């Protein structure tokens, strides 16, 4: 028996970090007693496949992801001016990947202003201002929404001009909030975490963020073994910068989640080491937070850590917890030793001792083999 994993190699730096990650994942399971091997399938997405398939996300790719136990995806470039919004948004919506998980952890050896941070961001992925319900200023649709709002809002009117106002709608539902807050608590419980913090702006947006807070409290009532608290988003930003060690699992609606995940990635040393996962009831895609960095394409230069750590999350997700933990330790050892790391992890970015993407993976594999 093997785990069926679909890999999307992406474009730009994607194929290089994907190959480095695939080799590390194979080594992690091969060197862990009792772990099942990975049976890889490969699917295409991004600007490269667009030329032949006419779309950056072919139907076969969606089918291949659905057929697999999990998917690991390297970054893809968002094509500009094609009318296609984003491969990532499309994937999340069509596969119902409602939870975005972003662990932010300090690894000694990564340059950062803080030490000992170990936070997990749980971001709702489908609702909020990112639901894509927007009306462009000057269009008839925007005008009609403007009129409806002004006719029904009991004296609270949009004061700017009918033809000069763009409108975005922020849907937040009981169902959407319930399932993401429950996800955060279940994650906390399964991973030995002590506290969940729910973030909102309920003092201003009473019917959306107010609902979020009310449902967060209701769900929290069912998890008495995990501490619960809430924070207003602006205060949360300040607290994270001043005392990040106070926080553990943080659950947020889509927009605040997007912003705070980058803030927290910054706390632990930036995008090069920030892994991520998009998880739903029927599937999961694991991917680095960073993009396809096209200017570094084909140079065997960039840091594979964020995708390798995303692979570590995938191993845990498919039940290979020991292999996942071993991969994390091997990667952390290489980073701490600071020798076989890419240019961005050296004190001086022009340091000639920096190794390439695939050589950093080789060093992690050697660690895994040495510490069987
Ligand atoms: P980016 O993350 O690709 O790159 C920004 C800069 O960060 C790079 O120039 C590089 O200096 C640095 N960087 C990124 N990854 C690195 C790594 N692994 N090692 C070392 N340095 C690294 O962001 P961008 O330039 O804004 O986006 C490029 C493309 O990627 C865009 O088309 C964007 O839409 C897409 N994108 C895709 C994803 C995804 O597929 N998940 C995520 C974000 C952006």
Question: With respect to CATH, is domain 108-132+171-270 assigned 2.60.120.260?
Answer: no
The protein residue whose alpha carbon is closest to atom 4 in ligand 1 is 293
Q: Active site includes 362?
A: no
Give pLDDT tens digits for 216-226: 999 999 999 99
Per-residue confidence (pLDDT) for residue 310, from 0 to 100: 98
Closest to 124 measured CA to CA, from 263, 261, 255, 286 = 255
Q: Which CATH class is domain 1-97+283-372?
A: alpha beta
Per-residue confidence (pLDDT) for residue 4, from 0 to 100: 97
Out of 234, 339, 351, 371, pick the active-site residue.
Answer: 234
Please tell me the pTM assigned to this model. Answer: 0.92
Distance 26 CA to ligand 1 centre (A): 25
Closest to 49 measured CA to CA, from 9, 106, 90, 95 = 9
**What are the DSSP E strand ranges found in the chain?**
3-8, 38-43, 70-73, 99-105, 118-124, 134-135, 167-168, 195-200, 227-232, 249-252, 277-279, 284-287
Closest to 289 measured CA to CA, from 41, 98, 85, 104 = 104
Domain chopping of the chain, boundaries: 1-97+283-372, 108-132+171-270, 134-168
Q: Is 265 helix (H, G, I), strand (E, B) or coil?
A: helix
Q: Active site includes 247?
A: no
Q: Active site includes 157?
A: no
Distance separating alpha carbons of residues 223 and 186, to the nearest angstrom: 9
Residue ranges for the chain with pLDDT beneath 50: none
Per-residue confidence (pLDDT) for residue 83, from 0 to 100: 64
Same topology, domains 1-97+283-372 and 108-132+171-270? Answer is yes
Distance 315 CA to ligand 1 centre (A): 24
Give pLDDT tens digits for 49-101: 888 888 888 999 999 999 999 999 999 988 776 666 678 888 888 899 999 99
């Amino acid at each position: 028996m093997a785990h069926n994993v679909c890999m999307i190699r992406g474009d730009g730096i994607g194929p290089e970090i994907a190959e480095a990650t695939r080799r590390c994942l194979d080594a992690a399971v091969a060197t862990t007693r009792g772990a099942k091997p990975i049976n890889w399938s490969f699917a295409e997405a991004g600007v490269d496949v667009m030329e032949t398939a006419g779309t950056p996300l072919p139907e076969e790719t969606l089918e291949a992801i659905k057929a697999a136990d999990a998917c690991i995806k390297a970054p893809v470039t968002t094509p500009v001016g094609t009318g296609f919004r984003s491969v990532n948004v499309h994937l999340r919506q069509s596969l119902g990947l409602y939870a975005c998980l972003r662990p932010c952890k300090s690894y000694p050896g990564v340059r950062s202003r803080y030490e000992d941070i170990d936070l997990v961001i749980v971001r709702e992925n489908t609702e909020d201002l990112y639901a894509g319900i927007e009306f462009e200023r000057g269009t008839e649709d925007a005008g009609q929404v403007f009129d409806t709002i002004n006719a029904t809002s009991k004296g609270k009117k949009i004061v700017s001009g009918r033809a000069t106002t763009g409108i975005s709608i922020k849907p937040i539902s009981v169902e959407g909030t319930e399932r993401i807050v429950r996800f955060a608590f279940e994650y906390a419980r399964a991973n030995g975490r002590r506290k969940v913090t729910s973030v909102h702006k309920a003092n201003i947006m009473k019917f959306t963020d107010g609902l979020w807070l009310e449902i967060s409290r209701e769900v929290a009532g069912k998890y008495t073994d995990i501490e619960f608290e809430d924070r207003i988003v602006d205060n949360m930003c300040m607290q994270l910068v001043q005392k990040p060690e106070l926080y553990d699992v943080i659950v947020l609606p889509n927009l605040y989640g997007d912003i705070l995940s980058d803030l927290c990635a910054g706390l632990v040393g930036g995008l090069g080491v920030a892994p991520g996962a998009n998880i739903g009831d029927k599937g999961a895609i694991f991917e680095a937070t960073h993009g396809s960095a096209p200017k570094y394409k084909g140079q065997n230069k960039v840091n594979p850590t964020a995708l390798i750590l995303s692979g570590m999350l995938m191993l845990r997700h498919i039940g290979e917890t020991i292999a996942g933990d071993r991969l994390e330790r091997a990667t952390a050892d290489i980073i701490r030793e600071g020798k076989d790391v890419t240019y961005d992890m050296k004190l001086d970015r022009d340091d000639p001792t920096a190794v390439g993407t695939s050589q950093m993976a080789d060093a992690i594999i050697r660690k895994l083999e040495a510490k069987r």
